Amino acid sequence: MQQTDIRILATELVQLLGPKDWAIGGSFLLQCYGIEPQARDLDLVCTLERFEQFKTLLSQYAHAVPVSLHPIYRSKGFARFSKNGLVIELMAGIQVLKDDGLQQFLFQPEKTSWQQGLPLMQLADWLELYQLFERPKRVKQLQQYLDDTTHTITTNR
């Protein structure tokens, strides 16, 4: 899938879902910041209250893909869709089963950053999610970017 295709799809989702209670994360978020050259899918995080509504809208827009139970992911809302070969995942009430019980991530829609007409999650939130999802390569990649950005900002003062 071409980079423009995923951006077009993301823009169409803003029209479909409206401007509130959801945001884009995952590899497309990283691509928007130039951290990742090519997004593999589109990860959407939304409020639990709007999950069923968004799921219904997405099922009219894209093909619903069956999801099997994951050994550690226990989100209260999770759905997968496919559109033109691109996977779209919708998540709400994100929880991961750890040795010491369920760890939760609280999505705060007010922290959404609008860039180029797209609602993007905070990179720091995805750092937290990648840590929760036990994705060490992504954690390192994002941590390095955030450290470099922080360093650059403080050096230029």
Q: What does pTM read for this prediction?
A: 0.90
The CATH architecture that domain 3-155 belongs to is 2-Layer Sandwich (3.30)
> Residue 102, class by beta-carbon neighbours within 10 Å (0-12 exposed, 13-18 middle, 19+ buried)?
exposed
pLDDT digits 0-9 by tens, 44-60: 999 999 999 999 999 99
In 3-state terms, what secondary structure has residue 63? strand
Show me where the domains of the chain are located: 3-155
Confidence of residue 1 (pLDDT cuts 50, 70, 90): very low
In 3-state terms, what secondary structure has residue 27? helix
pLDDT digits 0-9 by tens, 93-135: 999 998 888 999 999 999 999 999 999 999 999 999 999 999 9
Per-residue pLDDT at 156: 41
